[in-house]
Structure 1
């Protein structure tokens, strides 16, 4: 038997050998070509067969490549530098420890806010990862190119136009369109008018949301056309909410009047009379559901009009912290249909009424610097935990002395307690590392190690990364 024929015979016999082993049977008899090597002892023969089979499959057998190999483009360079090599093992450990996508997103957002990106071997976004920072758009498009059978498009210009729309892959297209909207709102709208109708509903929804930046009366005609002609209810709903922000909301109809029936405008006080809007508590589950449905379908102006007041008066007179569901519904109304001034009024009101947790729902309409300021104020004034402060602030926070806040004092006390465990305060310490400035992270590490935590404690990973990382990001 020639070497080639012997190799073919061995390979053909491997299926039978593996089948017998899977069934718990001896397989030496299925490999007569190795009779001399296997020997006479049955137990020893099985062990030798295992060793010879592993060597054969690992060395003599190679997978045939596909008939046509596809060469992918290089992974593109990003606009921000890669995390320093010395800090990559720490970042990898943190990414591996975060089982949920939200935890990884927080770290990636933090690095982007500080002016850094991950190494592609440590983390890369998927094509549909809309939560990834804009700086990763080239990688998202590369992932889509790798997963598709289409050739890479040749993007020759970062500035998007009607003419070069098809040169952009989806993630880069959205980033370029957002930049154009910030720079030239009319030009961005003109591009959308020409191209939006050719996209799928989900893509139309994502791109239309870009109009919230520098929204103006010039956008009314385009939005009204979408409300009248678009096929997708969710796209129509977004266009309707944008129109409401411009004072082109729904007229006061039966639904708004019915919604007003769940609330009452009253006056309180003896010397200083003040108007207060109270929620009438629904009596049955059906009434709760109806109120929710009416609030979900209303806009701020029509709701206020049905009560006989202006939106600003509605916000000023709202009775916070009595009906949490109604509070959240009002916040959602303001986010979807309120003007920028009304958003600022609500943010101020919830800060004054110790309802700071609601600021998280306002986040899509609040500038990053204002979110960070609100979070710092809530830490110092209302004693919220670092976890909530981090959710409120997002990646823009840079607190120089967070442990001086009530949450910091509570954290130190908990870590010093006699019954403290090595697994305690994991989330709180991680959030502390996300909201501290570089100097604040260094100070916090000193105080935490003085409180008894070890330098190598994995709970301090986020603080260590923060303290070691040059802050190259835009300062709030």
Structure 2
């Protein structure tokens, strides 16, 4: 970054007082979209934080830990070579992160290195294998790996594995979970797909997260393309919203995205990358209505910081700009939740001309030019 941008980044950090790597992630991704990265003298991922920093900084983090400059923490990528460098707690956190990022690599590490360690280490690593926030249980892909530990010398390890395997109710493949919900899907004579009202099974979420559209299509005797082409978009909500985008058929994913955008419906994050170029702006404008501060930014991805002022003014958070300034003037205090500050939200998506316009509007509304709430807009203008 040029010196002016480095100074502006430090001002952003001083205002937001980031206490974790996740607090800085969107700021750094914005800079990366403009082609810049933080100077190590200004920012490096903190070992007192999490692993939520842009991937471009991963080699730096690994090098710092492996050369003794920082402790091994969960943000350091767990490998066979550095396995023994972690405390038990941080190794578990790092293994959990690896499960989320690359489950196959996590399995390989568990079976190669973990299996050679003592029973407590095996128990700690195996304890991390679950579905995360999706549901209480394990995925079908976890089953073959866990089964390898059913004859473990440790009774404690065997008991843990048995309990985890019991949570599948004997449904240990994607196809098995697809069969469990297939009776809720009916194919009409003309190919229309009918979906029963919200499934009554208590374990519906687990079934849907444990299978994919391709497995369901095989069970129903049709193709994934036929399912996405014929599903009623009125049914595209809840668990159907989660299940249908999960297909390896790229053309089916494109068709589904096209149908959703054309109908003016929300497009799942996993489909953003396959939206047709001619539909992209329409899908983008749909995000403008979101109350969540990161929706527009996340949709833009590496196009962050490119919206002109006409588009910025369509974002719902723009309407809060002047009122938030007046509220601050009246209360004499800065907004407590920086994430929901309209000035910050708009600064991360606006092009330079729009960022300058937003800043002038805030100043005209009464905000002082040295107010730290303007730090993100100034950072935008500095890059």
TM-score, normalized by length of structure 2? 0.60
2:168 aligns to what? none
SS of the counterpart of 2:186? strand
Query: Which structure shows the higher helix fraction?
Result: 1
Query: Which residue pairs with 2:38 in the alignment?
Result: 117
Unaligned runs of 5+ in 2: 73-79, 86-103, 115-121, 127-140, 151-160, 162-171, 329-333
Cα distance between partner residues in 1 of 2:262 and 2:312: 18
Partner of 1:390: 297
1:395 deviation in Å?
Answer: 4.7
Distance, in Å, in 2 between the alignment partners of 1:125 and 1:373 is 41
Alpha-carbon distance between aligned partners in 1 of 2:229 and 2:212, rounded to the nearest angstrom: 17
Task: Confirm or deny that 1:359 pairs with 2:268.
Answer: yes
1:250, 1:302 within 8 Å by CA — same for their partners in 2? no
Q: Corresponding residue for 2:285?
A: 380
**1:299 and 2:219 correspond:** no
Quickly say closer, same or farther: Cα 1:102–1:132, change in 2 above 3 A: closer
Check the 8 A contact 1:402/1:436 in 2, yes or no. yes
Say yes or no: does 1:86 pair with 2:11.
no
Map 1:268-279 → 2, pairs under 5 A:
275-279=192-196
Does 2:306 align with 1:399? yes
Which residue number in structure 2 is paired with residue 435 of structure 1? 349
| Alpha-carbon distance between aligned partners in 1 of 2:258 and 2:198, rounded to the nearest angstrom | 26
Q: Secondary structure at the match of 1:398?
A: coil
Distance 1:134 1:281, change over 3 A: closer
CA contact 2:5–2:382 (8 Å) conserved in 1: no
Structure 1: which 5+ residue stretches go unaligned?
Answer: 1-79, 150-164, 171-188, 205-222, 234-248, 268-272, 470-476
- Which of 322, 327, 343 in structure 2 is aligned with 1:421? 327
Cα distance 1:398–1:87, how it changes in 2: closer, same or farther (>3 A)? closer
Where does residue 214 of structure 1 map in the other structure?
Answer: none
1:372, 1:397 within 8 Å by CA — same for their partners in 2?
Answer: no
Aligned mate of 1:343, from 230, 253, 274: 253
What CA distance in whole angstroms lies between the structure 2 residues aligned with 1:415 and 1:265?
50
For each residue in 1:288-343, what CA deviation from the matched residue of structure 2 results, as whole angstroms up to 9, or x when unmatched? Answer: 42222221222221212333321111112223354632233315xx34x5233333
CA RMSD of aligned residues (A): 5.0
Q: Output the CA distance in 2 between the equivalents of 1:462 and 1:377.
A: 27
Please give the secondary structure, in 1, of the residue aligned with 2:360: helix
Provide the rounded CA distance (Å) in 2 between the counterparts of 1:132 and 1:140.
Answer: 10
Distance in structure 1 (CA, Å) of the matches to 2:285 and 2:106: 44
Decide whether the 8 Å contact of 2:12 with 2:379 is kept in 1: yes
Secondary structure, aligned partner of 1:343: helix
Query: Does 2:57 match 1:136?
Result: yes
Give the drift of 1:229.
8.8
1:421: how far off?
1.5
For the residue of structure 2 that corresponds to 1:435, the secondary structure is coil
Shift of the 324–448 alpha-carbon distance from structure 1 to 2, 3 Å rule, reads same
Residues 454, 277 of structure 1: alpha-carbon distance in 2 compared, 3 angstrom cutoff:
farther
Maintained 8 Å contact 2:182/2:219: yes
TM-score by length of 1: 0.50
- Residue of structure 1 in register with 2:156 after alignment: none
The reply to whether residue 256 of structure 1 matches residue 171 of structure 2 is: no
Who wins on radius of gyration, i.e. which is larger?
Answer: 1
Report 1:31-430 matches (<5 A). 84-96=5-17, 98=18, 101-114=21-34, 115-120=36-41, 122-126=43-47, 129-141=50-62, 142-143=64-65, 145-147=68-70, 198-200=112-114, 252-253=175-176, 255-266=177-188, 275-282=192-199, 287-320=200-233, 322=235, 324-331=237-244, 334-335=245-246, 337-356=247-266, 358-360=267-269, 362=270, 367=273, 376-380=281-285, 383-385=288-290, 387-404=294-311, 407-408=314-315, 410-416=316-322, 420-422=326-328, 426-430=340-344
1:293 & 1:195 partners in 2: Cα distance? Answer: 26
Distance 1:345 1:102, change over 3 A: farther
Higher relative contact order (CA 8 A, sep 6+): 2
